[in-house]
Amino acid sequence: MDQNNTMSVLTLLVLCFGVGLATAAAGDLPQVGQMAPNVSLPSQDGSQASLKDFRGKWVVLYFYPKDNTPGCTIEAHNFQRDLSKYQEMNAVIIGVSVDSSDSHKDFCAKQNLTFKLLADTDKKVVAEYGSLGESGVAARNTFLIDPKWQIVKVWTGVKPAGHSEEVLAALSELQQK
């Protein structure tokens, strides 16, 4: 390889590495032990919903890519199926995506969902939670927040099918401590 090609390869590596670092820094996930950043967004019924509305409860804050897609529908159905178990454990489910309130309203009606879905069309909360995917939609991440607003568990790259069971198990274990 001649000197020009070597310099081009080195320049490309430096640029790629630098871009990777910038992307990682911009998308840092809140960590276990940190206080949960507040969320205040419109819900499927058009009303504003905030994390602070649920202080004193456990909160399952889950980010998902898109309404009415297969994986997101499975995940939502499973949370809905288990909703009474969450309620017995003093927990609420809150879903967040970059879809609009109208899209959430249609999704909830079509899929018989009764928990809150919040519309982050500006992508600010999704980004604040380190969950903005490269394609501009939310990455499938979940944060379990205790009644004092502390993050106690984080799941990234969630697989929709068994996720509700994972969250229930963690919630049960944490409540027994």
Q: Hey, what are 80's tokens?
A: 């809905």
Q: What is the pLDDT of residues 117-165, one digit of tens each?
A: 999 999 999 999 999 998 999 999 999 999 999 999 999 999 999 999 9
Q: Hey, what are 112's tokens?
A: 């018989």
Q: Which CATH superfamily is domain 31-175 in?
A: Glutaredoxin (3.40.30.10)
Residue 28's pLDDT is what? 86
Are 137 and 98 in contact, with CB atoms under 8 Å apart? yes
Distances (CA, A) of 34 to 29, 37, 110, 150, 156: 10, 9, 36, 6, 16
Q: Which residues carry out catalysis?
A: 72
Q: What is the rounded radius of gyration, in angstroms, for the C-alpha atoms of the chain? A: 19
Q: What is the pLDDT of residues 35-86, one digit of tens each?
A: 999 999 999 999 999 998 998 999 999 999 999 999 999 999 999 999 999 9
* pLDDT of 23 above 80: no
Distances (CA, A) of 154 to 58, 124, 141, 161, 173: 14, 19, 7, 17, 14
Read off the pTM. Answer: 0.84
CA-nearest of 142, 127, 133 to 66 is 133
Residue 175's pLDDT is what? 94
